[in-house]
Amino acid sequence: MARSQTAVATVLWKLIMTVGRLISVSGLQFSET
């Protein structure tokens, strides 16, 4: 159970980081234009 929970937490963390990076990149592009 603990292994699956940490695996899910790691996947969620990677998804959050990826989404945050995409938002920051798109935000920079929008502010430039």
State pLDDT tens for residues 1-33: 678 999 999 999 999 999 999 999 888 777 766
The whole-model pTM stands at: 0.62
- Separation of alpha carbons 20 and 26, rounded Å: 10
Alpha carbon distance 28, 25 (integer Å)? 5
Q: What long-range pairs does 22-26 form, CB within 8 A, spacing at least 24?
A: none
The whole-number pLDDT of residue 32 equals: 67
pLDDT at 26: 86
Which pLDDT value is given to residue 30?
72
